[in-house]
Every structure is written in structure tokens, then in C-alpha cells.
Chains A and B, each alone.
Chain A
Amino acid sequence: MSALLEVQDLEAFYGRTKALHGVSFSMVPGGITTILGANGAGKTTTLRAISRMVRTAGTIRFEGRPLDHRATEDVVQLGIAHAPEGRGTFVHLTVEENLRLGAWGRRDKRGLEGDFERVFGYFPVLRERRRQMAGTLSGGEQQMLAVARALMLRPRLLLLDEPSLGLAPLVVREIFRILRAVNQETGVSILLVEQNAVQALDLADHVFLLETGRVVMQGPSEVLRRDDAIRRAYLGY
């Protein structure tokens, strides 16, 4: 199976500061990969590099096509949806308008109503709140909205930046359950950045660990889950 996403020797820069020092990894279609690491390790930067929001060197290929010289808006049209750090909700627009905007990047707008139904199927609470201002939703609901909005694109790759941030454990578990369902039912690949290692290791099939902009460990999640060093450093026991 050819890789969905191939990243080779990726370097990323904020101004003149280098944040990623040659990151390489790849993802197969339908897979769930999680990037773990402490604050400042470069996890969010990796997602931003794929979405072309920071200056990079090195290669990023999506479905065989290089992303290097494309703008963020083009990357969206290729089928990559990014739910950013902090959710990125349009707080002054309604839930429905947020979802509708999620489909903006799609060339083919047929079946839009069907997509609404599908997304409400995964997140029933959004259907209840469909005409509410998105800013009035709770943190967990906004996270669900962020994922739902990304799904409206009918993406082939979903980039999620710390979906568990600031949420109660039960809510996190629910969201991760839905992510697994989405992956199994629609085959969308997920690249997940997380600090919450337990839930992420549970969901993902592949893991890599970033430390100050470098990949220090990578492999299947069952293997890394049992690794002593990771257990002590990231799982706390």
C-alpha cells in the first residue's frame, strides 16, 4: 500500500528559529498516528507544517503529491482537514454556519445535507445546538464542533491538535470513542497530536515521540505502550 502521507527531513522555522530538526515519518491510508511529546517539542509545528502555516524545508508528500509550494487553502482542497490548537471555532457564527464553512474547501458540494446528518449522527448534541452561537458552547461541545467541521470536508486526512486540552476525562473518552468510529466507518486517516498519552496510545496504531524538534522514538503503539521509558516519562507510572 502506498503511503498517504510521507514526511522526509522536515525542518520548520518561526522567523529565524528552527523548531523542527529533520523529522521523518509516514502514514498509511486508514491509519491513526499520534505524535506525543512535552510542551515545546514541536508537535503543533508538525501539523502546521503540513497545513503550510509555517516556513519549512524538506519534503512533505500527500498521496504522492508534494505540498511544498502550496498555500494553506490549497492543502485543504487536496483533502486535508485541520482542527487547530484551541479549536478555532468561529465564535460569532452559529453551529450550523461553522459546519457549512467546513465544507467550503470541497470542490464537490453534492450531498451536503447528508453530511450534516452524518455529523449529527456522531455528535447528537450539535444537532440540538445547531442554531446557537458557537461561542456559547462548552469546551467539550466546541471540540466536537471542531472535529465535526473538519469532517464536513470529507477529508482523507484529519489533523487534530490536542483535542483533549482542557476537557474532563469522560468527555475526552467520548470524543476518542467517536474518533475511532469515524476512522472505522469512513476510513479517514487521523494524525493526532496529544499530551494525553494514555488515551492517544489507546486510539492510535502508530506512535512517534518528539523531543525538541526531533523524532526520538517511533513504532506501533502496542510496542511503545509497553516500553518502560515511555511508561515512566509519559504515562506516569
Chain B
Amino acid sequence: MDIFIQQVVSGLATGGIYASVALALVMIYQATDVVNFAQGEMAMFATYICWSLLNAGVPYWGAFLATLGIAFAGGVVIERVVIRPVENAPILSIVIVTLGLLVICNSLAGWIWTYVQKPFPSPFPSTPFKVGEIILGAHDLGQIGITLLVLLCIYLFFRFTPLGLAMRAAAQNPLSSRLVGIRVGWMLALGWGLAAVFGAVAGMMVAPILTLEPNLMGGVQIYAFAAATLGGFTSPGGAVLGGFIVGVVENLVGTYVGFIGTELKFTVALAMIIVVLLVRPTGLFGSSLVKRV
């Protein structure tokens, strides 16, 4: 039972990372029908920027917040400069542009910071907590805490601020939004900025565990796809929940099902995607699109 709880908590921690990236993917998809394949690489790039700041002597939380700011600005700039010229092009053409971004981020990171793995610090103490017989890693708990904090802030922003309302409107109905005076293009750019922030949080939380290298987020992005598929690409809340579920399931399956080593754990994620798509393509919380004929 103790091991079960430990694995669940550990799963929630990694799930939080998947949830963050999944939320980023879903936010952009909802507003533009485009899946940003470069989301993970952008997050990795932001994490490297944090690493550089830390290396320059900036204290952890200062570097963390500065990185979030830089990631936000980066996301906005990328949307306005790179995506905007093709925003009316066919979907697959925009997908190719995001693939181009993916490749550029990955290659630039390797060029600037080399492919040598770098250790990345965790802001949380390394001594674990003991609750009764259960041992819980401080980093895991801290990770869950940070993820929940970020998600809470975002929820409050979208629900209660005028700008959040305008962003939701722009994502749902760009035409009507323009007719009430909302500059839809800039709302999209802000969306990309926020998505980049989620990605950066995920990257900085996972780097201490996986060590920092250009392919840091490759696996995470796949799990994030699984999370978004499970929760529903049309539901931000669903994507977040999906992330936590995928994290916990991945951990429990790895622990309790004997023959699944790390290689096949990955296949489990893929199998999840396929099963969800066969049974309920729109995910647990997604709504199916009713198209007017």
C-alpha cells in the first residue's frame, strides 16, 4: 500500500509535467486548429536559457521567473513573426512550419550549448519527506505544487480577468471578436506566449530528473500528446486531468506489470492513444465538433 501511494505521488509529479505541456498544446489547438509540434523543443530551449542564467550566478527563483518572462516574450514573438505569415495557409503547411521550428530549436540548442548532458538543479531539498511509513520525494511534491500553482493562476486569469475573457472569445469566435473590437491576432500571440510559459515550467521541472540535453522533451511531448488525446484536445481542463492520469498510469504500469521495462513503457503511452482514439476520439472531456452541412 505504501509503495502504491509512493508511486501514485511520483506519477502525479510526472503527470504534472505532461499536464503542462498538454495544456500548452490544447491552448494553441483550440485557438488555431494547429498542433504546435515545436512545443517541447521551445520548452527545452527555455530550460537552457534558465541554465545559462543559473550559470551566470542568478539565484534559482530569480532565474526561474526571468525564464518564464523570456519564454512568454519568445512565444509572442514567434507567433507574430514566424506563424503569422502563414496563418491563412492550409493546416498542413502550418504544421510544416512548426516542424521547421522544432528542428531549428533542437539544432540551435545543440550548437549553442553542445549535446553534452548537463545537470540541472532542483529548488527543492533532496531529503525526502516521511509521512508515516510512506517516503515521498521533496522534488516530486514541489513539482506537483508548482504545477498546481501555475494552473491555478491560469484558471483565475482566464475566468476572471477581461483579457482572459477576450482571449477565450478570440479562440472561440474570431469574427465576432473582431466585431467587438478585440485584436484577434494579438490574442493569438498572447496564447502562444502563455503556452511557452507552461512549456518552460515543465522543462525546468523535468530537467533535474532527466538531465539537460537537446532531446530532453522528446519523450515528454509524446506523453503530452497522449494526455491531450485522453483528456480531449478541445478541453483544457481535460488535457490537464489527462496529464495526471497518464503520469500515474505510466508509473503504476511500470511498477506492477512485470515485463514492462522502460522501453515498453513508451509503447504503453502509444497504446493508450490508439485505444482512446478507437473508443472515444474526442477524449474524456472533449466535445465532438458538430459541423453545419
Residues of A near any B CB (own CB < 8 A): 51, 53, 72-73, 76-77, 81-82, 84, 88-93, 97, 100-102, 104-106, 149, 153
Contact = CB atoms under 8 A, between A and B. Distances in A.
A104 B172 contact: no
- State the 4 A-B residue pairs at the shortest beta-carbon distance, nearest first: A105-B181, A76-B181, A88-B176, A72-B178
Contact of B175 (A84, A97, A100, A102): A84
Contacts of A104: 162, 166, 180-182
A210 B175 CA distance: 25
B182 A93 contact: no
B173 A73 contact: no
A179 B165 CA distance: 28
Given A90-B173, A100-B165, A104-B180, 17 more contacts: A53-B178, A72-B178, A73-B181, A73-B183, A76-B178, A81-B179, A88-B175, A88-B176, A90-B169, A90-B176, A97-B165, A97-B169, A101-B169, A101-B180, A104-B162, A106-B181, A153-B181
A106 B176 CA distance: 16
Interface of B: 162, 165-166, 168-169, 172-173, 175-183
B172 A76 contact: no
Contact of B182 (A53, A81, A88, A101): A101
B261 to A, nearest CB: 44
18 contacts: A53-B178, A72-B179, A76-B178, A82-B179, A84-B176, A88-B179, A90-B169, A91-B172, A91-B173, A101-B166, A102-B180, A104-B162, A104-B181, A105-B180, A105-B181, A106-B181, A153-B180, A153-B181
Contacts of B166: 101, 104
Interface of A is mostly: loop
B176 A89 contact: yes
B176 A73 contact: no
Contacts of B179: 51, 72, 76, 81-82, 84, 88
Contacts of B175: 84, 88
The residue among B162, B168, B180 with the most chain A CB atoms within 10 A of its own CB is B180
B2 to A, nearest CB: 44
A76 B165 contact: no
A81 B179 CA distance: 7
Contacts of B169: 90, 93, 97, 101
B172 A90 contact: yes
A119 to B, nearest CB: 14
Given A100-B165, A101-B165, A101-B169, A149 B181 contact: no
